[in-house]
Amino acid sequence: MLRIFRAVPLADKVLFFFMLTASLSGIFVVREALPQAADVIVEVDGRPVRTAPLSVDGTMAFNGDCGEIQVEIKNSRVRVSEAHCPNKLCVQQGWVSRGVIVCLPNNVVVFIGGRGTGTKKGLDAVTG
């Protein structure tokens, strides 16, 4: 084994090492550049209470400030299917595949596909 190693020209060893590093660093590059595996994170009163994969259909119920709030996952999309807040803006928002659903009266936030807000079009924030 050692003899074979010695027989390999130095340039080849360097090349081998280089290619190994390049391919390994590729893993990190991909991990950084691509979004994390799509998850649904539900926060109540600012604390994460449940993380569920977006790929698995189902419903979850949480106790918000205005009573029970129901979150449904179906076909990689999420909606608030039931809430007892006065305006039900969260229910009206309907199905969301990426971004956030906020129910302010309930103090419940549902993040879809990561914890960030998923701001659009390269924007860091929106005013208005």
Partner 1 sequence: MNRLDEIQRAFQSRGGTSFLLGLLLLAVIPSCGDSGRHTYQKSRAMMDTFVTMTVISESRQQSETAIQAAFNSIEEFGCLINFFSATSELSQINKNAGVREVRVSPAAFDLIEKALYVADKSAGAFDPTIGPVMRLWDFHNGVRPPDADIKKNLPLVNYRDVVINKKNSGVFLRKKGMLLDLGGIAKGYAADLAVGALKQHGITAGIVAVGGDVRTFGLRADGTAWNVGIKNPRQTGAKDEIMGTIRLTDKAISTSGDYERYFISDGRRFHHILDPQTGYPSDRARSVSIIARDGVFTDGFDTAVFVLGPRRGLDLIKEINRDFEVDAIIIDVNGVIYETDRVKETIKDAKNL
Would you tell me which residues interact with partner 1 (CB under 8 A)?
A: 9-11, 14-15, 17-18, 21-22, 25, 28-29, 32, 43, 46, 86-87, 100, 102-104, 107-109, 111, 115-117, 120-128
Q: Which is nearer to partner 1, 58 or 77 (CB)?
A: 77
* Residues 15, 18: Cα–Cα separation, whole Å: 5
Q: Which is nearer to partner 1, 53 or 116 (CB)?
A: 116
Determine how β-strand 108-112 pairs with β-strand 58-64. Answer: unpaired
Least CB distance to partner 1 at residue 71 (A): 15
Strand, coil or helix: 82: strand
* Residues 41, 38: Cα–Cα separation, whole Å: 10
Q: What is the DSSP letter of 10?
A: H
Q: Which is nearer to partner 1, 20 or 56 (CB)?
A: 20
Least CB distance to partner 1 at residue 57 (A): 25
Strand, coil or helix: 90: helix
